[in-house]
Structure 1
């Protein structure tokens, strides 16, 4: 029997590092690669705790019931959500490093302050990608998740997160200002795809574990399937899918779930895993319209002004859409 003095000290059930964004930038692959490290464990799903009451980041976590607002409250004095959060990490055991994956944290201005106050030693990893490609990828992900009922061009205003999710610079700057540069690590998906081992070595050094060889490990996750008939899927989503998609989050951050939530979850799981895949049979999406790509190239370059300086990279060498002087080159009038 191990004496009390030799038993390992039980660690706090909170993350040591967070993958904070951005969506559709390779974060799922990063999550599961890190989870294969012997000294690291992460909850299997995204946690989305510190931004659960942000209606811009997570409108799906807000419900109206009998004229009252039902939302998820991550305040430290809310026992239900605090216990839910801690239970995520208690279930992982006494691992050296615990991680969290919540890929919209980057875009919520209140989250860095909450992390600074409640996780004063946690480090943050952000993965970024060519912003035009990222926006298009999120559109198709939203289609798969049954939330899209229109074309990509229509979704640019119908789903604001498609544009906000590729607006990195002001949010990244805010995180650095709140936490300091030493607690923020930025990875470009394009670098990750070019040399995963080099990028993972940098991440391991950043979070404080021994780098490990990726040989023999699974390296890519969350492969996207696309609808063979986008218009048909838009119609199905408009008729049925978008209503069912809301059921996914009914039980999020609830320690106890009633019969209604359990039934809702079963309906969602059945439709998403059995019916929805029948429409997702293509391996590649349609090509983005050239005029849309041109518009987004100029938009995202301007929205991300200063990002190249912040990252100390010439992003035009990495991102084909990055062109600070595109208007001057094209000769077009704004």
Structure 2
């Protein structure tokens, strides 16, 4: 564990890659202190949170929340996947190289782009319900990283920067399809070993943060506005917002799992073509010939057929 007051580890990576599940398993370990999953404090260049109700606004607030005196002797950390893509986060964390550890979670960028679109729809950031049209449009607004699906699907450049700044032995990479989905218990044990924590098997490895949609978009919008209003009112009188149970209950009643659907083959081919070079670079960066993502095997086969013709 680090000698100064600072988190011992960070979970980075692409969103929707199993980071919520992994963090919840680490929270259950008796030798960790992990009160906040995704503070997003170090990545204002991706998403500025300082004006959001209940946000952590200063480094002192951040350290008081994540690394208080009560956490002495326990491993501390957080999980903000967006840090992988954030130049601001890299600048903030790189001075701690050699003292902190990084867990990087990745997945098939084709599936990632589609999942990011679904998440943005659910959270009200995306207004175009059709992924193909949203993809063709580009970012919903100038400089909007969250709706720039090409940006999220090309992690190799970002991972290369982190690997240049941190010792190789302090970065552990997992692929969603190969680790978390295939054998979550083994993936969990790998991370515990990497962090130097004792083995700790969970009773259940059921996935967390399953994709949801809402039965009523109006109710979702109204509950979000109500939550923000309550949080602001509490902050004005000096009370730190801790969540509103009634609003959480309404949101739970209004939500439903998203049925898994297959995007059109033509759309997946277009995405695979866009991301192919980055996937090749990522494979080389990880010292592998291929990655377990069928879209790119199909893309290579199609390209070979075209060249032969």
Please tell me the TM-score bracket, short chain as reference. 0.7 to 0.9
2:118 corresponds in structure 1 to 140
1:289 corresponds in structure 2 to 264
1:132-170 CA deviation, whole Å, 9 max, x = no partner?
111111211222212221121233322544332221100
| Match of residue 277, structure 2, among 283, 302, 309 | 302
Note the C-alpha offset of 1:273.
5.2
1:87-130 CA deviation, whole Å, 9 max, x = no partner?
21217632421111111000012322321214650111010011
Q: Establish whether residue 88 from structure 1 lines up as the match of residue 88 from structure 2.
A: no
2:184 corresponds in structure 1 to 196
Question: What is the CA–CA distance in structure 1 between the aligned matches of 2:267 and 2:238, rounded to whole Å?
Answer: 43
Q: How many residue pairs align between the two structures? A: 289
Question: What is the CA–CA distance in structure 2 between the aligned matches of 1:261 and 1:322, rounded to whole Å?
Answer: 51
Contact 1:42 1:101 in 2 (8 A): no
Note the C-alpha offset of 1:282.
4.5
Question: What is the CA–CA distance in structure 1 between the aligned matches of 2:187 and 2:124, rounded to whole Å?
Answer: 33
1:213 corresponds in structure 2 to 201
| Structure 1 unmatched runs, 5+ | 1-9, 64-71, 75-79
Q: How does 1:1-334 map to 2 (within 5 A)?
A: 12-52=4-44, 54=45, 57-59=46-48, 61=50, 81-89=58-66, 90=68, 93-118=71-96, 120-150=98-128, 151-156=130-135, 157=138, 158=140, 159-190=146-177, 191-214=179-202, 216-227=203-214, 233=217, 236=218, 240=221, 244=225, 247=228, 257-258=235-236, 274=250, 278=254, 280-316=255-291, 318-323=292-297, 325=300, 328-329=303-304, 331=306
Indicate the SS of the match to 2:71: coil
Indicate the SS of the match to 2:105: strand
1:213-269 CA deviation, whole Å, 9 max, x = no partner?
33x2444211222357xxx85xx59x9579849949x87xxxx93259989x86xx8
Deviates more, 1:306-315 or 1:131-140: 306-315
Runs of 4+ in 1 over 6 A off after TM superposition: 260-263, 269-272
TM-score (norm 1): 0.73
1:169-199 CA deviation, whole Å, 9 max, x = no partner?
0000000001121211100111221122322
Over the aligned positions, Cα root-mean-square deviation in angstroms equals 3.5
Contact 1:308 1:314 in 2 (8 A): yes
Contact 2:110 2:272 in 1 (8 A): yes
Contact 2:100 2:170 in 1 (8 A): yes
| Structure 2 unmatched runs, 5+ | 141-145
Note the C-alpha offset of 1:313.
2.7
TM-score (norm 2): 0.79
Contact 1:147 1:242 in 2 (8 A): no
